[in-house]
Amino acid sequence: MRYLLVILLAVVSLGYMVNKPETIRQGKKDDQAWAKEINQAYDLKALHHFLCGQIKANPWVDGVDLRRVKITKKSTIAGRKIHSGEWTLNLPDPKNSEFTITWIDKDKSSDNRSAEIWNSITFICQRKTKADFMILSVKRADNIAIALFD
């Protein structure tokens, strides 16, 4: 009897941990509403031209050649992020005028593969109008992940 109670409690608690279909549907609806708000607040084509223009005007940031970073001709919305090749545009709140554009270079590792090293370049930007943007600052971050166990 005691084991049956434990199993029943485990099954009931598992139901709270698994994504329910209605939760998934609501998440998709929320993402669609976010995408609609983004399309109303931002001209994605102008934002794409802004990114390309910034890289053309400033191809090097702290020793990193941004010309080698892939940019697609068209941006795609995935979840609550917008991707253009290897660049990710983070626009958490369509009503907020600040947003970031980030590229993460994950192609480096140490000689003995015990550490993974990657750089990131982030443009902190501001929307002036639906189709006019400016860079507030640029940040470079160097990150290292060390494998403790093999």
The DSSP 8-state label assigned to residue 66 in this structure reads: G
Cα 149 to the center of its chain, rounded Å: 29
For the whole model, what pTM was predicted?
A: 0.74
Could you list the residue range(s) of the whole structural domain that residue 84 is in?
Answer: 2-146
Number of domains in the chain: 1
Low-confidence ranges of the chain (pLDDT < 50): none
* Whole-number pLDDT of residue 127: 95
* 8 Å CB contact between 88 and 95: no
